[in-house]
Amino acid sequence: TITKEEDLLEFATLNCFCQFDLFGIECSYYQLDDATDMPSDSQRIDRIKCISEERGINKILMSHDIHTKHRL
């Protein structure tokens, strides 16, 4: 997970896909790392807009796990 905007913008220039997952999970506690806050859907969309507007990147994957589709 890339948390800093400048790191995300740099990563987005590497000619690869940027993936955003876990839409619908509105929980700030990230079980895999206590020091990292889970971004909200709004924050994910803001990051997508940022790399699209700042870098003109269009290789973006958005996903959601099927076993938690009830959260959408």
pLDDT in tens, 20-64: 888 887 887 878 888 888 888 899 999 999 988 887 777 788 887
Record the pTM.
0.74
Is residue 36 classed as helix, strand or coil in its secondary structure? coil
Distances from the Cα of 40 to the Cα of 31, 47, 56, angstroms: 15, 11, 23
Average pLDDT over residues 4-21: 86
Domain boundaries, the chain: 5-71
